[in-house]
Amino acid sequence: MDLSRVTFLTLAALATVSAFRVVTASKIMHAALWLGFTFLMVAGVFLTMGAEFLAAAQVLIYVGAVTTIILFGIMLSEAAEVRGGRDPVAPTTPKGPAIIRRFILPIVATLAFAAIMIFVYSQAPWPDASAAPAGDTVRLLGSALFTDYVVPFELAAVLLLVALVGAIAIAVRDDHKEEQG
Amino acid sequence: MDTVGLILIRGAIVIVVLLTAFAMMTVIERKMLGYFQLRLGPNRTGPWGLLQAVADGVKFIVKEDIIPRDADRLVFRLAPIISVFTALAAWSVIPVGPPIEVGGRPVPLSIADPPGGVLVVLAFGALSVYGVSLAGWASQSKYALLGSLRASAQLISYELSMGLSLLGVIMLAGSLRLGDIVAAQDRLPFLFLQPLGFIIFFISAVAEASRIPFDLPEAETELVAGYHTEYSGMRYAMFAMAEYIHMITVSSMVTLLYLGGWNGPAFLPPVAWFGLKVALLLFVFIWMRASLPRFRYDRLMDFGWKVMLPLAIVNLLVTAVAAALWA
């Protein structure tokens, strides 16, 4: 195996393991950190495939912004188990409806997701590996976004704007209530 | 193509140079502050007090490494490592000069110069929030937590105007590769074409480096020492190391993006021009520390969101229109 293949497999394995740790970590802060690490490893996978811009954007947005905001939220929350320090309450053995919630539903969801992914992978028309653009991917990406994909691009921008306005509306309403009493 | 060995050698050189520069910066900063305040500064260890860095280093190493009882031990240990890593990693794409000939083959003066170099530096800058916020959270102390909350808010706010002001330069240069951006300033540094962008970028850079007047994360009069209150010994030194290397990084970025990088009259080699420009900016950093008071926290936020961000967007719009008309 050549070096790039070893790198890819290492990064992919690390990403999978840390994604698993996100759901098994006992402290929510550690879960958030594992999430950030997963994003970082996925950025590494993008790099091994020559998608340099995607990797940088992944680090900037997912690791640098999204996970930071999650950490911010955790740090601002008051709950004792969230604030960390001592170990949280030991997990109890679930009984009754909790068995369905903790064991059966996750398995069903996993199987359904796996089925969808396998279906997509088997049906999708994959582009020829040799057709992968070499060189200045940033330039190619930019011109593709503003020519072939301009409508989806603008739609995504409008969607983000709507989300922004909505967030401001929610925040302002809460403020107002507080002032009233 | 570069072999792995050559890249490792360049990486080792970069790390040694940066760590030496960090050690020297701590002494030079204290000397400069001394002169600004009509004192002598450190002058007992070695000639001109230059060995003070060595003395400090030894002291940090032999000091006891204390971890608070309630601290999250894993995250507490991780935070300074993340800080130093992100500070050093940004240097993997920063070129200090044009490629030189060594033994008949060209050797680039950077570890790598990928097409998206500017983005890589920004990405590692975004990661530096982690070291600070995790240090404050893991310490489980009021001052540290307040300091790290301030730091996270400040870094996120100023990152935005930094990125937006930088877009003007990218538009003019037509490339994200740092080498190309310097080459585009062959005749005229972007400082003259992007004066507003330069000011916004420099102010954001000071804020990103958490230096006075933006050093609220570690405001000693309010927060003891901010996010690293609970750290001692070498772990504390690692935060200082990250801060100083970050300062050198942002100075290099200002040099590369606005001051023409290594371009300069031919009587000095390009690398010397680069070093001189970075040294000048570092002096400005120290100068500001000696002369400016600290922002109040709400004003810092207001300034970031209500002044810097709109100005950066105006700068971007004007540059885009001008570039479109001119091209």
The 10s digit of each residue's pLDDT in B277-319 is 899 999 998 888 888 888 777 888 888 888 889 999 999 999 8
Nearest to B137 among A29, A53, A136 (CB): A29
**B46 versus A144: which is more confidently predicted?**
A144
The answer to the question of residue B28 being in a domain is: no
Q: How confident is the model at residue A160 (pLDDT cuts 50, 70, 90)?
A: very high
Q: What is the mean pLDDT of chain A?
A: 79
pLDDT value at B324 more than 90: no
**B109 versus B37: which is more confidently predicted?**
B37
What is the mean pLDDT of the segment spanning B125-151? Answer: 80
pLDDT value at B105 more than 80: no
Element (H, E) at A54: helix A52-57
Single out the residue of B292, B295, B284, B294 nearest to residue B32, CA to CA: B284
What is the mean pLDDT of the segment spanning B239-255? Answer: 88
Lowest mean pLDDT among A89-103, B1-15, B141-155: A89-103
Counting residues of chain B whose pLDDT is more than 70, the rounded percentage is 95
The answer to the question of residue B4 being in a domain is: no
Counting residues of chain B whose pLDDT is more than 90, the rounded percentage is 3
Q: Report the range out of A125-129, B175-179, B303-307 with the highest average pLDDT.
A: B303-307
Lowest mean pLDDT among A7-21, A39-53, B80-94, B226-240: B226-240
**A84 versus B128: which is more confidently predicted?**
B128
Q: What's the domain count of chain B? A: 1
From A10's Cα to the closest Cα of chain B, the distance in A is 18
The answer to the question of residue B9 being in a domain is: no
- Residue B88 near residue B245, CB atoms below 8 Å: yes
The answer to the question of residue B29 being in a domain is: no
Interface of A with B (CB under 8 A): 3, 27, 29-30, 33, 36, 52-53, 56-57, 59-60, 63-65, 68, 71-72, 74-76, 83-86, 135-138
* CB atoms B126 and A86 under 8 Å: no
Lowest mean pLDDT among B51-60, B108-117, B192-201, B216-225: B216-225
**A30 versus A128: which is more confidently predicted?**
A30
* CB atoms B137 and A84 under 8 Å: yes
pLDDT at residue A91 in the model:
58
pLDDT value at A122 more than 60: yes
From A105's Cα to the closest Cα of chain B, the distance in A is 32
* CB atoms B130 and A85 under 8 Å: no
From B122's Cα to the closest Cα of chain A, the distance in A is 7
Indicate which of A28, A33, A47 best probes the interface with B, i.e. most B CBs within 10 Å of its own CB. Answer: A33
What is the mean pLDDT of the segment spanning B28-51? Answer: 83
The answer to the question of residue B240 being in a domain is: yes
pLDDT at residue B303 in the model:
87
Tell me the residue range of the domain where B257 lies: 65-326
pLDDT value at A181 more than 50: no
pLDDT at residue B79 in the model:
86
What is the mean pLDDT of the segment spanning B150-175? Answer: 84
pLDDT value at A63 more than 80: yes
CA A5 to each of CA A12, A51, B280: distance values in angstroms, whole numbers, following the listed order: 10, 15, 45
The answer to the question of residue B44 being in a domain is: no
ipTM tops 0.85: no
The answer to the question of residue B15 being in a domain is: no
Q: How confident is the model at residue B171 (pLDDT cuts 50, 70, 90)?
A: confident
Nearest to A56 among B75, B78, B123 (CB): B123
* CB atoms B114 and A72 under 8 Å: no
What is the mean pLDDT of the segment spanning B273-277? Answer: 88
The answer to the question of residue B265 being in a domain is: yes
What is the mean pLDDT of the segment spanning A95-106? Answer: 75
Contacts of residue A47, Cβ cutoff 8 Å, sequence gap at least 6:
A55
* CB atoms A56 and B115 under 8 Å: no
pLDDT at residue B173 in the model:
83
From A3's Cα to the closest Cα of chain B, the distance in A is 11
